[in-house]
Amino acid sequence: MNHQLIREVLCQIGEAVCRKVHQSLREQSIEERAAVHQEGADDTIYQIDKDVEDILVPLLRAQAAALGGVVLIAEGIGEDSEEGLVLPENITAGQAAIRIIMDPIDGTRGIMYDKRSAFFLAGAAPNKGNLTCLQDIEVAVMTELPTSRSVLSDTLWAIKEQGAHRYTWHLENNTRETRSIRPSQSPTWYGGFGQIARFFPPGRDVLAAIEDEMLATLFPDAPEGKAIVFEDQYISSGGQLYEILVGHDRFVADIRESLFRKMRKAGQKTGHVCHPYDLCATLIGQEAGVIITNPAGEPLNAPLDTTSPVDWVAYANPKLRTQIEPVLQRVMAKYYLF
């Protein structure tokens, strides 16, 4: 793998997606952006998503040969093939050097209403066929897709065992400023942002109850009438990762699939969950020192696909993990989520 070239190509695509989204926010109405284009295998594809897909595939096609051939895995792209989209088109999936898993707009619902930044996410791994997984990713890029009121966009990237990096891009001046990545060094959740993700129904009452019980266990002597912790229900896995990377949040747990497994056994209707393409940039967090695991505390892993359900937990530093993880696991077990 030519890691530097992959990084450059993914950053280029991320910036092109950013420009396209910004253009859509200026030129289209909310109703146009939020129109449903199609129902994907595990998510809804809106018109703003489709507009972005139309520009990223040609950009990747132009670089595919130089990259040694690419299998692209992305929601709504190449879904008529079991292998995904193979570029250039004159090779087979087995001949491609790399697999790229991509979420062109992670956080569509926030950005299509011009409420909050979304993120372009991409990860590249050596092509191991259908056995390729998240742990195989060696290059990851995430590019902020800001609202119409901002002309600044952060790009964060990592190459395995080479650290995590960040720059801020000015969309109007086309200048780039190197910025640091510094997750919180606080040893405690108390007084900071952290949350269990519960932005979609059903099951929000259970997830809230789990979080309340965790807080009561962790901080039994917290003064009455005071805010113990703060929460931010960011409807974007990339956004949640970003908030931890830049020091805003200290902890996040997305355990929707664990809850839904229990609900399915009880014959209850379940909802939307996180998928591997939502987590394809977690290498950046790992390279920055963030601890990212599954709920059992094991290294996060999943197939490189768009449909597998994935739960994940992130701690900004090891001390936070030591404080929070045992309590999270104990309360999840009490609610039969293990």
pTM over 0.85: yes
Q: Are residues 148 and 32 in the same domain?
A: yes
Cα–Cα distance for residue pair 29/17, rounded to 1 Å: 18
Confidence of residue 229 (pLDDT cuts 50, 70, 90): very high
- Helices 204-218, 256-265: axis angle to 10 degrees equals 120
Q: Is residue 21 part of a domain?
A: yes
What pLDDT shows up at residue 78?
Answer: 67
Q: What percent of the chain has pLDDT over 90?
A: 87
Span 41-52, mean pLDDT? 78
Confidence of residue 316 (pLDDT cuts 50, 70, 90): very high
Q: Which residues fall in the annotated binding site? A: 75, 103, 105-106
Q: Is residue 186 part of a domain?
A: no
Span 3-15, mean pLDDT? 97
Q: Are residues 25 and 90 in the same domain?
A: yes
Q: Are residues 55 and 197 in the same domain?
A: no
Range of the domain at 326: 193-334
Cα 30–chain centre separation: 24
Q: Are residues 228 and 145 in the same domain?
A: no
Cα–Cα distance for residue pair 226/317, rounded to 1 Å: 25
CB proximity list for 30: less than 8 A, separation 6 or greater? 112, 113, 114
Beta bridge partners of 103: 121
pLDDT tens per residue across span 233-271: 999 999 999 999 999 999 999 999 999 999 999 999 999
Q: Which residues fall in the annotated binding site for Mg(2+)? A: 75, 103, 105-106
Q: Is residue 185 part of a domain?
A: no
pLDDT at 87 over 80: yes
What pLDDT shows up at residue 51?
Answer: 85
Tally the domains of the chain.
Answer: 2
Q: Is residue 25 part of a domain?
A: yes
Q: Are residues 151 and 197 in the same domain?
A: no
What pLDDT shows up at residue 79?
Answer: 63
Q: Are residues 28 and 172 in the same domain?
A: yes
Span 180-196, mean pLDDT? 98
Indicate the range of 71-85, 149-163, 196-210, 254-268 predicted with least confidence: 71-85
Q: Are residues 213 and 284 in the same domain?
A: yes
Q: Is residue 152 part of a domain?
A: yes
CATH number at residue 70: 3.30.540.10
Q: Are residues 165 and 215 in the same domain?
A: no
pLDDT at 302 over 90: yes
CATH number at residue 234: 3.40.190.80
Indicate the residue among 131, 150, 179 that finishes a domain: 179
Q: Is residue 219 part of a domain?
A: yes
Indicate the residue among 147, 179, 211 that finishes a domain: 179
Q: Are residues 37 and 103 in the same domain?
A: yes
CB proximity list for 300: less than 8 A, separation 6 or greater? 134, 135, 279, 282, 292, 293, 294, 310, 312
Beta bridge partners of 140: 123, 158
Q: Are residues 160 and 121 in the same domain?
A: yes
What pLDDT shows up at residue 110?
Answer: 93
Q: Are residues 198 and 150 in the same domain?
A: no
What pLDDT shows up at residue 37?
Answer: 74
Q: Is residue 314 part of a domain?
A: yes
Q: Are residues 172 and 199 in the same domain?
A: no
Q: Is residue 37 part of a domain?
A: yes
What pLDDT shows up at residue 40?
Answer: 63
Indicate the residue among 179, 210, 232 that finishes a domain: 179
DSSP letter at 201 equals S
